Amino acid sequence: MELKQIDLNKLMLAMQTLQDYINSVNLSPKRFYLDKVFSKKNGFTYYVRYQDNGIVVPSHWTTGTNDKIKAESFAIQNRDRLLLAYYNRNKIKKPYGNMYSILKKYYTENSEYLKIDFNRGKSINEETRRSYHNYIIKQFIPYIKKQGIKSFEDIDPAFLARYQNYLLADKETKNGIIKGVKPQTIKIYLLTVSNIYNHLLIEGHVKLNPFKTMVKLKIKDELIRGCYEITKLRGVFNKIWKNNFYYLLCLMIYTTGMRNSEIERMRVNDLIKIDDINFINIIESKTKNGIRIVPLHDFVYKKIIRHIKVNNKTNNDLIFKNEGTVKIMSEIYANANLELAYFTKYTPERLLKENITFYSGRHFWKTLMYSENLGEIEEYFMGHKVSTDVSKRYNHRDKQGKKKLLEKANKVFQILDKCVFTAR
């Protein structure tokens, strides 16, 4: 009976509200009307609806009282303030909601958040965006939901340490044991969320980024990095690959010995020519010794030029990634390494066992040059620390050094022709 009585009360209030609204439509001099909303504690509370320019504003505001005189006084005194806030809120539509809404939408296509980041000079390529979004949706959100996380403030360095341990640990499933995530990959995972915190920090929606003060995992290779046998790469770059970008990345590292980061920073105007020989002018590197020039085989040069033309790259444009992109994702390098393995007949299991990764291309180049007795200049072309004497003798700005440099560059090309390419 009590439940039915409450329903009846609600019905009577609704009928009274309807009548109040009908009475107010004809442009009430007060320009507002009071709406009775059922309240368990007080029976009902007056909410105010305003008329503005002959139209009833969709929103309504609580007066906090069931006393009609006080409610009317509240409505009159707060009219300008409430309407101004209402119009400003609808005028400035920022894409911020609760934590889970932001996490789900941050890396979506045409994300409002990423547009703001882009205007501040930070952008990511499409493949990276999809990868980040996939991680957030399929891994990060399910985990924090299970942990009862309700707001960004609930995530602190201690929580992140527990999350690191969770990712590192092997997982037992009905299909067997799933190995834990490697520290290098965990670093990328956490960077994905840290970027969101950086954005919210700038926009004033959080006060701290816990990823900046968390204890970072130590990254190390437990296995000595392996590389292919010298004979295994003969002719692989003369074949047609399924993915041309993977082809170019592998071609670059296996024929120049450059670091991943150096390849990513290559710009069109870093391609230089000394006499009739092409070089890559590396003006920024991991170390000061990495600032150098690297001989570029004609075969490789032509492939790069074609890539530049197809992608409409000009002058100071980056060759292998878009401007503002943080870096090429590790997944891309891993996939490039797998496509190369297909041509060498190496299985993924063998790659893992011998620890052959994309970066092994740099080790291959060094091993190849040593095996063909190139000598100390190999170290100079790779950007390692070298003696003052070596640097002086092969500095291309010195006439005698230039002669030696070109001789050694031609020697590099001969070795690549013999061991990697078919004859030029």
pLDDT tens per residue, range 343-397 = 999 998 999 888 899 999 988 988 888 888 776 655 667 766 555 444 444 443 4
Q: How far apart (Å, rounded) are the C-alpha atoms in residues 105 and 98?
A: 11
Tell me which architecture the domain covering 230-419 has in CATH. Orthogonal Bundle (1.10)
pLDDT (mean) for 107-115 = 89
Residue 8 banded pLDDT, cuts 50, 70, 90: low
Percent of the chain residues past pLDDT 90, beyond the cut = 35
Q: How far apart (Å, rounded) are the C-alpha atoms in residues 316 and 262?
A: 15
Q: How far apart (Å, rounded) are the C-alpha atoms in residues 36 and 14?
A: 8
- List the beta bridge partners of residue 279: 272, 295
94 phi and psi, to 5 degrees? Answer: -95, 145
Task: Give the model's pLDDT for residue 184.
Answer: 82
Task: Give the model's pLDDT for residue 11.
Answer: 67
Angle between helices 183-202 and 126-135 (to 10 degrees): 100
The Cα-based distances of 99 to 134, 142, 197 in angstroms read 17, 13, 11
Task: Give the model's pLDDT for residue 278.
Answer: 94
pLDDT at 416 over 70: yes
If you average pLDDT over each of 74-88, 308-322, 323-337, which comes out highest? Answer: 308-322
Residue with tokens 């990823």: 211
DSSP secondary structure string for all residues of 146-208: HTT--SGGG--HHHHHHHHHHHHS-EEETTEEEPPPPHHHHHHHHHHHHHHHHHHHHTTS-S-
pLDDT at 316 over 70: yes
- Take residue 181 and report the two structure tokens written for it: 């995530």
Which has more pLDDT, 144 or 174? 144
For the chain, what is the mean pLDDT? 82
Task: Give the model's pLDDT for residue 396.
Answer: 39
pLDDT (mean) for 320-341 = 86
Per the rule left: phi > 0, alpha: psi between -120 and 50, beta: everything else, 345 is: left
Interior CA angle at 341 toward 340 and 344, to 5°?
A: 95
Task: Provide the H-helix boundaries in 206-258.
Answer: 244-256
pLDDT at 337 over 60: yes
Task: Give the model's pLDDT for residue 271.
Answer: 94
- Interval 58-94: pLDDT, tens: 788 888 888 989 988 998 999 888 888 877 765 544 5
Q: Which of 110-124, 377-391, 397-411 has the lowest mean pLDDT?
A: 377-391
Beta-carbon contacts of residue 41 (< 8 Å; ≥ 6 apart): none
Q: How far apart (Å, rounded) are the C-alpha atoms in residues 225 and 152?
A: 39
Q: Which helix (H) or strand (E) holds 176?
A: strand 176-178
pLDDT at 314 over 50: yes
Q: Which of 37-41, 86-90, 229-233 has the lowest mean pLDDT?
A: 86-90
Task: Provide the H-helix boundaries in 29-173.
Answer: 68-91, 99-106, 112-119, 126-135, 141-146, 157-168
> In 3D, which of 240, 271, 256 has the Cα closest to residue 383?
256
pLDDT at 29 over 60: no
Domain range 99-212, its CATH number among 1.10.3470, 2.50.20, 3.30.70, 1.10.150:
1.10.150
Instruction: Tell me the domain boundaries of the chain.
Output: 2-91, 99-212, 230-419
Q: How far apart (Å, rounded) are the C-alpha atoms in residues 78 and 90?
A: 18
Q: Which residues of 29-68 are buried (b: 16+ CB within 10 A; e: fewer)?
A: eebbbbbbbeeeeeebbbbbbbbeeeebbeebbebeebee
pLDDT (mean) for 209-215 = 92
* Structural contact between residues 387 and 222, judged by C-beta atoms closer than 8 angstroms: no
Per the rule left: phi > 0, alpha: psi between -120 and 50, beta: everything else, 148 is: left
Q: How far apart (Å, rounded) are the C-alpha atoms in residues 254 and 17?
A: 78
User: Nearest 10 degrees: CA dihedral of 166, 170, 172, 178?
Assistant: 120
- Interval 155-186: pLDDT, tens: 999 999 999 999 999 988 887 888 888 888 89
Altogether, the residues listed in the chain come to a count of: 424
pLDDT at 26 over 80: no
pLDDT at 10 over 50: yes
CA atoms within 13 A of residue 375's CA, in its CB half-sphere: 9
pLDDT (mean) for 101-118 = 90
